[in-house]
Chains A and B, each alone.
Chain A
Amino acid sequence: MHMADALISPAVGGVMWAATAGIAAYSIKKIQSDLDDKKIPLMGVMGAFIFAAQMINFSIPGTGSSGHLGGGLILAILLGPYAGFLTMASVLLVQALFFADGGLLAFGCNVFNLGFFPCFIAYPFIYKIILNKGYTSGRILFGAMLAAILGLQMGAFGVVLETVSSGISELPFRSFVMLMQPIHLAIGVVEGLVTAAVVTFVWQARPEILQKTAMGQALGNLSIRKVITGLAIVALLTGGALSWTASTYPDGLEWSMARTAGVEELELPQGLHQVMAAFQEKTAFLPDYSFRSAESEEETEPAAAEAPWPAVSAGTSVSGLVGGSLTLMLAAATGIIISVFKRKEKLATINKA
């Protein structure tokens, strides 16, 4: 069950789409530089395999329930992180188009939660490191379990963050986290066990498959990974810790504005600027770089002179209700009229022939 469009805001959807597109573009570049054409059919068939494998019910002994495979980790192990990420993206796209399992706007979120975390974090930083010393069934089990559990925890946390920052669902952060994380812990355990079982089987039956991908990663990619890791850590530190020390004084631009025009921000001219500013205000999910908190909204309400949204008055409600019903009736009527016309057309063509 992937994230639906109805639960995210356009801003969150857009940001995650951009992030996913960026990672996908980077992955494509990485694959193309060391691609032999054989990888394309392999990625395609592996995508189909994961799609089919997701339908398998793995019955858990003693509980009477069953678990399912996500597949991100297996794909990373068999194809490498870049190809694995792209394959996961194509599987999710087919699911979104054919089964509406995951929205098209939420596609970026879903690929990020189910592709980025297993392929670019769980696989290289957990699984690979544990398996660095060589394959044994114990290490495979431990590596797969830890990577699957942590990868799924991160994915679930991603879902929570995306939903809460969209503001459509009223679930508060803490309750949602306490709902999602334990469920995905159980799912992660099943995924880890199944992944370990499959990898162990492949390692015993055809070890060359695993060795090939392992070797491919060891050549030439390590330095770039270190660089990216380093940058990511620096970014987190700067954003997280150092932002506490951010100055409350006006920045350079605001300071110069205050000096010259007497105000820190210009009043927007009428027309397009106002419209765009209103759009931005509505869609910004981190206004002024903080979470949109209920308290700040309450503070601004007494200051606002306009009526609270929506206007609570019987008159507006009646016309709204009338208008709403009329709209629905019009829509249904349009649909019926079109199908009547089409039927007449079909009968006419049949009669002609």
Chain B
Amino acid sequence: MSNISNTLYNMHALDEHADTKTMLHSIHPVSKLLVTMVFLLVVVSFHKYDLSGLLPLVFYPLVVSSLGDVPFRLLFKPMLLTAPLLVGIGIFNPILDQSIAVVFCSVSISGGWLSFLSILLKGGLTILAALLLLATTGMDRIAFALRMLYVPRLFVLQLLLTYRYIYVLLEEFGRIWNGYLLRAPGQQGVGWQVWGSLTGNMLLRSMDRAQRVYEAMRLRGFEGEYHPGGTRPLTLADIGYMAGWVLFFTTARYYNLPALLGQLVTGGIS
């Protein structure tokens, strides 16, 4: 519970960044969403030993974070969060897969190490893509994009409400937690005697709040509809953005660009 303020800060920071005015932020959210999904699919579809082919895809997060002015520290922390899982599972690969995959300067590298590095690289790329989507688009516009892609209104509405009330409830829970700490100092977590009553009280407060939220919404004319405030058609720039990145991803997928580049350079030298 002590990391509530950290969580709130990170969420605020990412979402506030989505309100910056850069060229990238003005691209249609549907384009950015689709480009992100294609990027994820392409990254994940690489063969487990294909490390060099994966490298050109590093361009995408680098370019997007530069164009979108996204500070690196915002992206770094979530990567640290997922790193233990990837390392924990991936580290078995060098142990279990000892087949020789590459011989370089009389040093033989096993397939296991290649696939482990590939997992780490894929992990980094996919995490960055998801975070950059949020940092350059924002939750409201992502919901708008989902609605344009025919995701049912009920789910989009409920997603937006969950997102909004996370801020509200986290602040309230922070206060409950402080109250608990002041009455039971030196606790590492919630003691078993109050598992039920502490969490239960939080739950009842949340449900009462939900009732008040519903009444407030009804009084302001809510009838179950979702009005995002006007539609926004796709422009040529948005389609060009999508087409350009998808073309780059498919080229990188089917042609090993670093190998070609290397052959060009070493062929030119010799």
Q: Which residues of A contact B (CB under 8 A)?
A: 1, 4-10, 13, 24-25, 28, 31-32, 35, 37-38, 40-49, 51-53, 55-61, 64, 66, 69, 78, 86-87, 89-91, 93-94, 96-101, 103-105, 163, 167-172, 193-194, 196-198, 200-202, 205-206, 209, 282-283, 309-310, 312-314, 316-324, 326-328, 330-332, 334-335, 338-339, 342
Given contacts A37-B218, A44-B162, A170-B92, contact A58 B224 (CB under 8 A): no
Say whether B85 faces chain A, with CB atoms less than 8 Å apart: yes
**Chain A hits for B58, CB < 8 A:** 327-328, 331
B-side interface residues, number (CB < 8 Å) = 121
Is A44 a contact partner of B164 (Cβ separation < 8 A)? yes
Given contacts A51-B166, A200-B196, contact A5 B191 (CB under 8 A): no
Is B224 a contact partner of A40 (Cβ separation < 8 A)? yes
Is B4 a contact partner of A55 (Cβ separation < 8 A)? yes
Most chain A CB within a 10 A radius of its CB, from B56, B81, B200: B200
What does the 1/0 interface line of B244-270 toward A look like (CB < 8 Å)?
000000000000111111110111000
| Main SS class of interface, A | helix
Is A43 a contact partner of B1 (Cβ separation < 8 A)? no
Contacting A at CB under 8 A, from B178-236, are 187-192, 195-204, 206-207, 209-211, 213-214, 217-218, 222-224
Say whether B139 faces chain A, with CB atoms less than 8 Å apart: yes
Say whether B157 faces chain A, with CB atoms less than 8 Å apart: yes
| Main SS class of interface, B | helix
Is B162 a contact partner of A322 (Cβ separation < 8 A)? no
**Chain A hits for B37, CB < 8 A:** 104-105
User: Can you report 8 residue pairs joining A to B where beta carbons are below 8 Å apart?
Assistant: A6-B123, A10-B41, A45-B209, A56-B198, A78-B203, A98-B11, A202-B204, A282-B45
Most chain A CB within a 10 A radius of its CB, from B14, B213, B262: B262
Is B1 a contact partner of A55 (Cβ separation < 8 A)? yes
What does the 1/0 interface line of B1-12 toward A look like (CB < 8 Å)?
101100100110
**Chain B hits for A69, CB < 8 A:** 199
**Chain B hits for A342, CB < 8 A:** 66, 69
Q: Which residue of chain A has the shortest Cβ distance to B199 in the bound complex?
A: A198
Given contacts A86-B155, A104-B36, contact A326 B115 (CB under 8 A): no
Given contacts A47-B165, A105-B126, contact A100 B79 (CB under 8 A): yes
**Chain A hits for B223, CB < 8 A:** 37
Enumerate the 5 nearest inter-chain pairs by beta-carbon distance, A residue then B residue, closest first. A44-B161, A323-B262, A57-B189, A201-B200, A197-B196
> Which of A9, A44, A170, A322 is close to B158, meaning CB atoms less than 8 Å apart?
A44
Is A46 a contact partner of B7 (Cβ separation < 8 A)? no
**Chain A hits for B4, CB < 8 A:** 55
A9 to B101, CA, bound (A): 21
Is B104 a contact partner of A51 (Cβ separation < 8 A)? no
Is A314 a contact partner of B47 (Cβ separation < 8 A)? no
Is B202 a contact partner of A52 (Cβ separation < 8 A)? yes
Given contacts A5-B43, A6-B44, contact A335 B1 (CB under 8 A): no
Say whether B29 faces chain A, with CB atoms less than 8 Å apart: no
A90 to B166, CA, bound (A): 12
Say whether B160 faces chain A, with CB atoms less than 8 Å apart: yes
Is A7 a contact partner of B104 (Cβ separation < 8 A)? no
**Chain B hits for A90, CB < 8 A:** 155, 158-159, 162
**Chain A hits for B51, CB < 8 A:** 324
> Which of A52, A89, A169, A323 is close to B169, meaning CB atoms less than 8 Å apart?
A52
**Chain A hits for B112, CB < 8 A:** 170
Is B209 a contact partner of A202 (Cβ separation < 8 A)? no
Is A100 a contact partner of B162 (Cβ separation < 8 A)? no
Is A4 a contact partner of B3 (Cβ separation < 8 A)? no
**Chain A hits for B242, CB < 8 A:** none
**Chain B hits for A59, CB < 8 A:** 187-192
Is B162 a contact partner of A60 (Cβ separation < 8 A)? no
Looking at the assembled complex, report how far the CB atom of B227 sits from the nearest CB atom of chain A, in whole angstroms: 14
Looking at the assembled complex, report how far the CB atom of A3 sits from the nearest CB atom of chain B, in whole angstroms: 9
Is A312 a contact partner of B103 (Cβ separation < 8 A)? yes
> Which of A105, A167, A314, A319 is close to B263, meaning CB atoms less than 8 Å apart?
A319
Is A40 a contact partner of B161 (Cβ separation < 8 A)? yes
Say whether B100 faces chain A, with CB atoms less than 8 Å apart: yes
Q: Which residue of chain B has the shortest Cβ distance to A190 in the bound complex?
A: B195
A197 to B101, CA, bound (A): 54
> Which of B89, B103, B131 is close to A169, meaning CB atoms less than 8 Å apart?
B89
Is A317 a contact partner of B104 (Cβ separation < 8 A)? yes
What does the 1/0 interface line of B52-77 toward A look like (CB < 8 Å)?
10011011001101110100000000
Is A45 a contact partner of B206 (Cβ separation < 8 A)? yes
Contacting A at CB under 8 A, from B127-154, are 127, 129-131, 133-134, 139, 142, 152, 154
